[in-house]
Structure 1
């Protein structure tokens, strides 16, 4: 069965490959900002689920399974942060989140297309992240690396940002970008078992 990852995230791809699946990668090209702006009073959980579903639906696959994901960081004050995209925004976020605990939300959508039609399952995973406090030199070096600019919450768990995460409560693969346990459950709900994919 064809397995498609609707994401350009190398971290998501690496998680799947390490878990025995080598997906085709097709980037969805969804305008995330426009889609979020079109939602009426959404919860943070709904935002990541809607974005994940839109990414999976945007990929043109005739038959097979498509997985879309989206992650955002929910801070203790209720704000949601995606990719900072600029050094200035990433630095501001790190100065606010250092030494705090926040929730990384990752929306997941699984779409199965075959002769029987289209089946879709959508959910999200929430993982608490306890941030450490980098020194000024460490923060500037991390920002210089460019890594935090293109990842939700301006950090990674599996890269340089992992030095500044004191711990997590929940699924580490979800923080990396795709929850293996949740994806397995969503695959089951559309009639696919791992043995179909390995």
Structure 2
């Protein structure tokens, strides 16, 4: 009788503590292996295609033999503008001023890639999720005070909905976890398709589904 095939090791291709915390709610505790990839956006690349490509690129760069890697990328879209992580405090303040008293879209792409023991890579399986977020009007003092906390510095759109930035939100349409960095329902489905046992179910989505920008 052949020896049983061991379950794959799950790798999170991200250094985001928020994504690690989200996976923990599914009962998952992956190896954390942030990739070193070029995150520059291609000319004429729409935001949906951009985050989808980056998620797969990150997963492929992090997966080793006998492993399944989960890559993800999140951006904020305001009109035709794609807002990533701010370059500094002034950039963070300018971004929050743009988002004040309006609605923006948060896109999160997830990709799962597995590598067999012989080194063969699977084709990426992916999902793209979108949530619309509406901010109340923000005063300059509120923006400056929030930027001074340092919280916006490593966040797409310069805010954390699960942190102090949550006070700026009037309402959302879609899943809150998408704004944090992973759509857990899609994550669970993709990982199970790749042979990863997911002990827990994600929480139910909040609000209505939003349509991702291309």
Q: 1:170 to 1:56 in 2, by over 3 A?
A: same
Equivalence map 1:93-132=2 (5 Å)? 93-115=95-117, 117-119=120-122, 120-132=124-136
**3-state SS, counterpart of residue 30 of structure 1:** coil
Equivalence map 1:84-163=2 (5 Å)? 84-115=86-117, 117-119=120-122, 120-163=124-167
Matched-pair contact (CA < 8 Å) for 2:63–2:114: no
Q: Who is 1:190 aligned against?
A: 194
Residues 171-193 of structure 1: CA distance to partner in whole angstroms, max 9, x if unpaired? 11111101101112222443545
Q: Who is 1:47 aligned against?
A: 50
Normalising by the residue count of structure 2, what TM-score does the alignment of the two structures yield? Answer: 0.83
Q: Who is 1:17 aligned against?
A: 24
- Alignment partner of 1:64 is 2:63: no
Q: Distance in 2 between matches of 1:176 and 1:137?
A: 25
Q: Distance in 2 between matches of 1:118 and 1:57?
A: 8
Matched-pair contact (CA < 8 Å) for 2:63–2:69: no
Q: Distance in 1 between matches of 2:63 and 2:182?
A: 21
> Per-residue deviation at 1:78?
1.6
- Please identify the structure whose Cα radius of gyration is greater: 2
Normalising by the residue count of structure 1, what TM-score does the alignment of the two structures yield? Answer: 0.89
Q: Who is 1:78 aligned against?
A: 80
Q: Which runs of 5+ in 1 are unaligned?
A: none
How large is the RMSD of aligned CA atoms in angstroms? 1.8
Q: Who is 1:169 aligned against?
A: 173
Q: Distance in 1 between matches of 2:23 and 2:170?
A: 25
Q: Which runs of 5+ in 2 are unaligned?
A: 1-7, 200-214
Q: 1:87 to 1:155 in 2, by over 3 A?
A: same
